[in-house]
Structure 1
Amino acid sequence: MIIRYVEDRDAESIAEIYNYYVENTTFTGDETPFSKEHMKNKIKDISKDYPWLVLEENSQILGYIYLNQWRFRSAYRHSAELSVYIRNGVRTNGLGSKLFSSLLKELKKKNLHTIISAIVLPNNASINLHEKFGFKKVAHFSEVGYKFEKWLDLGYWELVL
């Protein structure tokens, strides 16, 4: 099992992982699956400025984690938004923790002060993972999303570095 920087060749596997969540869960607000090309462009855009890591075992991507710009105004340049996804059906066995640990080491190379995560609620596994690494809940928005015929709450967690 290795954790490494994302590469173009990972786009299809990452799209597969993400599209499961798009099509079957409320854990993402996206409602339309991503094509391999769309994911390749997203990877290219994000990874030029922020770390994007994949966890690979036996040539299969089991999960990924990345940071992205949190807001588009210059005053927020020292904050970033975190996203993490694990392939459906894989026993996690701490895969999320391994990805978090690796990403937090990468942050030492960046000029960041605060990491923010948006979590569609309920999602106890994601909350527990974030809080294990010191993230604190700072906001709760009621019924701000709508997917699969139901209203969704959104929580924000932050980690001040």
Structure 2
Amino acid sequence: METSIRMAAAEDARALLAIYAPYVEQTAISFEYEVPTVAEFAGRIQKTLERYPYLVAERDGTPVGYAYASAFHGRAAYSWSVECSVYVEQGCRQGGVGRRLYQSLEGLLVRQNILNAYACIAYPNPASIAFHERMGYRTIGHFTQCGYKLGRWWDMVWMEKMLAGHPERPEPLLPIGTL
């Protein structure tokens, strides 16, 4: 079954929220306690698309996953770094959807002049760690018992991937809408 990748729109909020909700309700993959409303989720998509890519993976016109980039930090000197997130429908995991989403996302980020990609992962999460390692990320930080969810404390790790070289004077970030 072919997977297609496209840019998300606020109208995708309901379908993408259906993918995200089990991660909030049943796992520590998301540190949110409450599933956002459809309107709130649509707002998140719109806000992300002001600057960064927000991608949807579809099979036969039905969303099965999504990935997006967000600011790594709000200060100007961090403009060339992003945090990446990917969520795949529970029944579609380990089928290449996440890989396709990240490859597409990283390709767009390079075109935007982004140099560093980061992933923040609840730990332990061997599947996510292994996925990111296969995608070329390496662990650069480990925070101990920094999140409390589902009746226990969770560690968090940061993983990093250099998307491009670091020139003496980097090109400015190009908002996703300008590509």
TM value normalised by structure 1? 0.96
Aligned residues: 161
Query: Is 1:134–1:159's contact at 8 Å kept on the other side of the alignment?
Result: yes
Q: Which structure would you say has the larger Rg?
A: 2
Equivalent-residue separation in structure 2 for 1:7 and 1:36 (angstroms): 13
2:153 maps to what in 1?
151
Output one character per residue of 1:71-115: Cα deviation in whole Å (capped at 9) or x when no partner. Answer: 111111111000000012235311111111111211221121111
1:69 matches 2:71: yes
Equivalent-residue separation in structure 1 for 2:130 and 2:67 (angstroms): 16
Equivalent-residue separation in structure 2 for 1:38 and 1:108 (angstroms): 29
TM superposition shift of 1:34: 1.0
For 1:46, what is the secondary structure of its paired residue? helix
Equivalent-residue separation in structure 2 for 1:92 and 1:35 (angstroms): 28
1:132 matches 2:134: yes
CA RMSD of aligned residues (A): 1.1
For 1:89, what is the secondary structure of its paired residue? helix
- Unaligned runs of 5+ residues in structure 1 are none
TM value normalised by structure 2? 0.86
4+ residue runs over 4 A deviation: none
2:6 maps to what in 1?
4
Query: Is 1:86–1:92's contact at 8 Å kept on the other side of the alignment?
Result: no
For 2:90, what is the secondary structure of its paired residue? coil
2:92 maps to what in 1?
90
Equivalences for 1:43-54 in 2 at 5 Å? 43-54=45-56
Choose which of 100, 104, 107 in structure 2 pairs with 1:105. 107
- Unaligned runs of 5+ residues in structure 2 are 164-179
